[in-house]
Amino acid sequence: MVDPVLSAVREYCLLAWMWIRSSMVYRTSFVTMAVGQFLITMLDFLAILVMFSNVEVLGGFGLGQVAFLYGVSGFCLGAADLLVGNVERLGRRIRDGSLDAMLIRPVPTLIQVCADEFQLRRVGRLAQACMVLGLGSTTAGIDWSPGDAGLLALTLLSGTAIFCSVFIVFASFQFITQDASEVANAFTYGGNTLTQYPLTIFPKEIIKAVTFIIPLAFVNWYPCLHILGRPDPLDLPGWTQFVSPLVATVSAAVTGCVWRLGIRNYRSTGS
């Protein structure tokens, strides 16, 4: 069970590394693009700062705490975008036949689709999220304990996995139709935008939707509630704040099934 996963990870890393080396040939271009991405994503956080120049709290959360939520969510989306962002090109690959070229190779198709054209410059966005996370960690009034730090690390991993799942599941719809690919954005970037804010600003229905239907709330909200020491607006049992890794694992399993179903459908119907 572990062996194919490990070999898949190895193959992914080897391919991604090839692309990194290839892009390093144009080093100045890479640096400018990465820095550009960093600055540009800073504009996004600027909006939050502008909001807080007008108010003290949003949904009961102060700037530091919102920055913390924003940082975790941004990190997870940024990491997911870096690792599997290319999966949204699936439709294009089907159209131009490059998916077929991948099917005849001895590497799992999902790995190829994600690693192909790996763009290290996306790390610029990730760096911005780290910076905001750092800012939030120090100004949110958190009484840091080793347990909190461990929970944060685990959350960053789990959240990334959850976002990766969302990316891949919605991209899988392109096996059936390539025209409606924009719907994915509503859940990936929309999901990120939603989780940037404390969920207390949303009505209970929406919080339930992102808890039970598409588990985006487990990317940052529930674990952060624990770290920030804030009460849960839905009053769910305390262990909800620790199950992000479990949610991530289940999401990954579901994603694997959906993807395999998509490939099987493609191979059964032709394009």
Partner 1 sequence: MSEAIVDVDELSRTFVVHRRVGATRRRRRTEVKAVRNLSFRIQRGEMVGYIGPNGAGKSTTIKMLTGILVPTSGRLRVAGVNPSTDRLRLARQIGVVFGQRTTLWWDLPLRDSFALLRRIYDISTDRYRHNLGTLTELLDLTDLLDVPVRQLSLGQRMRGDIAAALLHDPKILYLDEPTIGLDIVSKARLREFLRRINSAQDVTVLLTTHDLVDIEQLCKRVMVIDSGRLVYDGSLNDLQSVGGASRTLVVDLAEPTEPLRVEGADVTRVDGPRQWLRFPADASAAPLVADIAARYALADLSIHEPAIEDVITRLYEHERPSRA
Partner 2 sequence: MISRLMLYAVVAKLSFQRFSTYRAATAAGVFTNTVFGVIISYTYIALWRQHPMLGGYDQADALTYAWLGQSLLMTVALFGGGFQDELAERVRKGDIAIDLYRPVHVQTWWLVADLGRAAFQLLARGIPPTLFGAFLFHLRFPSSPLTWIWFLVSVFLAVLVSFGYRYLVALSAFWLVDSRGVDYLVGVSAMFMSGMTLPIVVFPGWLAGVAHGLPFAATIQAPIDVFLGVHTGADLAASMAVQAGWAAVLLAVGHVVTGLATRKVVVAGG
Residue 176 interacts with partner 1 (CB under 8 A): yes or no: no
Provide, rounded to whole angstroms, the least separation between the CB of residue 124 and partner 1.
21
| DSSP per-residue string spanning 32-46 | HHHHHHHHHHHHHHH
76: left (phi over 0), alpha (psi -120 to 50) or beta: alpha
Backbone angles phi, psi at 250, to 5 degrees: -60, -45
- The span from the CA of 223 to the CA of 24, in Å, is 37
Check residue 179 for interaction with partner 2 (CB under 8 A): yes
List the structure tokens of 40.
């540009």
Cβ at position 135, least distance to partner 1 in Å: 38
Taking CB under 8 A as the criterion, which residues in 53-72 touch partner 2?
53-59
CB 190, min distance to partner 2, A: 5
Which of 7, 29, 265, 271 is the binder for partner 2 (CB under 8 A)? 29
Assess 11 for contact with partner 1 (CB under 8 A): yes
What is the distance between the alpha carbons of residues 83 and 174, in angstroms, rounded to a whole number?
19
Q: Which does 15 bind (CB under 5 to 8 A by kind): partner 1, partner 2, none?
A: partner 1
Report if residue 50 touches partner 2, rule: CB under 8 A. yes
Binder among 31, 47, 103, 253 for partner 1 (CB under 8 A): 103
Kindly state whether residue 106 participates in binding partner 1, applying the rule CB under 8 A: yes
Q: Give yes or no for a contact between 52 and 66, defined as CB atoms under 8 angstroms apart.
A: yes
22 or 29, CB closer to partner 1? 22
Query: Residue 203 binds which entry of partner 2, partner 1, none, with Cβ cut-offs from 5 to 8 Å by kind?
Result: partner 2
Burial of 68 (0-12, 13-18, 19+ CB in 10 A): buried
Scan residues 90-149 and list those touching partner 2 (CB under 8 A). Answer: none
| 35 close to 121: Cβ distance less than 8 angstroms | no
| Buried/exposed code over 25-50 (b: 16+ C-beta within 10 A; e: otherwise) | eeeeebeebbeebbeebbebbeebee
Helix (H) / strand (E) element for 260: namely helix 244-269
d(CA 45, CA 239): 31
Query: Does residue 6 interact with partner 1 by CB under 8 A?
Result: no
Q: Is 186 in the site for partner 2 (CB under 8 A)?
A: yes
Q: Which residues bind partner 2 (CB under 8 A)?
A: 29, 32-33, 36, 40, 43-44, 46-47, 50-51, 53-59, 177, 179-183, 185-187, 190, 193-194, 197, 201-203, 206
Q: Which residues bind partner 1 (CB under 8 A)?
A: 11, 14-15, 18, 22, 96-98, 100-101, 103-108, 112, 264, 267-270
